[in-house]
Copies of this chain bind each other. A is one copy, B any other.
Amino acid sequence: MPGVANIRVLERAVDVMNCLAELGQPSSLSEIVGKISLPKTTVFRILNTLEEHSLVVRCNGQYAIGPAVLFWASAYKGQNVLLEIAKPYLVELWDFTRETVHLISFDGEEAYYIEKLDTPHAVRMHSRIGAHLTLYCTAAGKAILASLSKEELDAYLRKTQLISKTPNTIVDRGNLMAALSKIRQEGFAKDLQENEEGICCVGAAILQNGRPVGAISVSAPAYRFQEEKMLEAGRKVQEIAAKISEALNSLPGM
């Protein structure tokens, strides 16, 4: 992917949108420019263009994300039933654990966070809906890998190099295979600070016709997530993932 020449303005426009989304509230041009390092004029021009299409709205000099994004989001949801089906189950999982719950979509190649319920605790992990997630060092990702066919898993391993993100990341293929078979045994996956230092997760895959189409996970700071608590959450994650899989497979027209 790097090497394909990309369009600069477009990348910048995406940055501007992301910046607005991160700010989470109407912000002035200066605030935006303060966050992304670009000339004011450039950002201004981009905002104007985006505004023309309701991707950005301006209320008394402040800029904010506009309603046009809803059109795209509803189109995405139309293609991804998982999101609609899973929502109530995620709430159930959240009620039980009171920790950050993620829903992950997997299209056979890549996995993405597509929904998130935040923990009420002050200390929480930072994650972003829509972001890509690494399969080999996350609970949800490993749960997905564990339910792939041998051929698919081989194909994945062939094209992926295991890069260490924390001291705990599994970078050895043999160790990863061992971890995956343990996941198949236990019924859910664990991430012991393998993706982000200080964060532990449990996750389980969602299956449709025997193939993984997504996963759910529960994440918490390591100090709130030890042995017993993790096991408890893991069992629940497994249970909820099974329920979602069932709901997905009993859909009209499946």
Contacts and interface: CB of A to CB of B under 8 A. Distances in A.
Interface string A41-83: 0000110111011110101000011111111111110111000
Contact of A72 (B21, B59, B78, B108): B21
Nearest to A11: B49
Contacts of A131: 54, 68, 71
Interface string A97-132: 000000001011110111100000000000011111
Nearest to A6: B49
A7 B45 contact: yes
Nearest to A26: B79
Interface residues of A, number: 59
Interface in A6-46: 6-7, 9-11, 13-14, 17-18, 20-22, 24-26, 45-46
A254 interface: no
B7 A9 contact: yes
B49 A7 contact: yes
A72 B17 contact: yes
B18 A71 contact: yes
B7 A129 contact: no
The 3 A-B pairs of least Cβ separation, nearest first, read A73-B73, A21-B75, A71-B130
30 contacts: A1-B52, A6-B48, A7-B45, A9-B9, A10-B10, A10-B13, A10-B49, A10-B50, A11-B53, A14-B55, A17-B72, A18-B72, A22-B75, A26-B79, A54-B112, A54-B130, A57-B110, A65-B76, A66-B76, A66-B112, A67-B76, A67-B80, A67-B113, A67-B129, A69-B72, A69-B73, A70-B73, A70-B76, A70-B115, A73-B73
Interface of A: 1, 4-7, 9-11, 13-14, 17-18, 20-22, 24-26, 45-46, 48-50, 52-55, 57, 59, 64-76, 78-80, 105, 107-110, 112-115, 128-132
